[in-house]
Amino acid sequence: MAEARDLHAGTVARAVVFDLDGTLVETEELKALSYARAAISLRPGQVDASEVVEAYRPLAGRAREEVARSLLARFALEAPAARLMGELGATTPWQAYLMVRVRVYEAMLGDVALIRRQEYTHATSLLRRLRRARVPTALATMSYLSQVERILAALGLQREFDAVVTRDDVRRPKPDPEIYVAAASRLGLAPASCLVIEDSLPGVQAALAAGASCVAVGTSLTRDALHTGGVSPPARILDDPARLGPVVLTLLAEPAAGVAPQEPTRE
């Protein structure tokens, strides 16, 4: 019970909002690989894939422009990317690099078996359990809708959310709180009534800035940043993914004893 008291911040959670990449499915790993393969294609034999993946680690969850600019500078990709600008219709080298990388990533998303192997069943099973219990759920992701739809279809999750908010719907990326404010609004709730499940430091920062509560399950790419970021109490950062379900169900049940979860407001 002491742990439960530490977990509960005093706000009744009535809905659960999931991040996608790194939370429901390990596509952050695939994104890291896509940046690495794109870098190698720009500088064949001069870039090590493992080094690019390692450099991506502290950038996980950041906006694509920030990631592309950082890796472009780190691995001296500007000149070869600039040579592709005309062919690709890009206006800057970082955009050209990003366009090469997106081609690689889109090919990965086309491999349904690969996406299914990357599923985080500790999170998807919790999502399905919440849906059976009629707890309102939303998805809030910095991926674009076209990519989100392919991932959800591969995992059979198309009907598991009351609301879906993607990068297409917001102007500012995480750690800005815009996306979590939007997700709560679409559920007909205040952010303070939502419990967010995240995997990255920018995602946690976005959720907390919106006024939501948050539980984070770290991955190999994001765990260190979560623990050193200083934004969440240790009890809200889970290194063991098997604890996600029990922790979330505790947060939903304890503060609302005797109160049924609210249905989302429909316009």
DSSP annotation string for 179-244: HHHHHHHHHTS-GGGEEEEESSHHHHHHHHHHT-EEEEE--TTTHHHHHHS-SS-GGGEESSGGGH
* pLDDT for the residue numbered 4: 36
Q: At which residue do the structure tokens 């049924």 appear?
A: 260
Measure the CA–CA gap between 31 and 24, rounded to whole angstroms: 15
pLDDT at 258 over 60: no
Measure the CA–CA gap between 143 and 161, rounded to whole angstroms: 16
Amino acid letter at 149? E
What are the tens digits of pLDDT across the range 102-152?
999 999 999 999 999 999 999 999 999 999 999 999 999 999 999 999 999
User: What distance lies between CA 47 and its chain's CA centroid?
Assistant: 27
* pLDDT for the residue numbered 259: 38
- Enter the pTM of the model: 0.86
User: What distance lies between CA 129 and its chain's CA centroid?
Assistant: 20
pLDDT at 3 over 60: no
Radius of gyration of the chain (CA): 19
Amino acid letter at 226? L
What are the tens digits of pLDDT across the range 228-246?
999 999 999 999 999 999 9
From residue 182, alpha-carbon distances to 80, 139, 146, 170, 213 in Å are 39, 11, 19, 8, 15
pLDDT at 266 over 60: no
Chain-wide mean pLDDT for the chain? 91
What are the tens digits of pLDDT across the range 20-49?
999 999 999 999 999 999 999 999 999 999
At residue 253 the predicted structure's pLDDT band, cuts being 50, 70 and 90, is confident
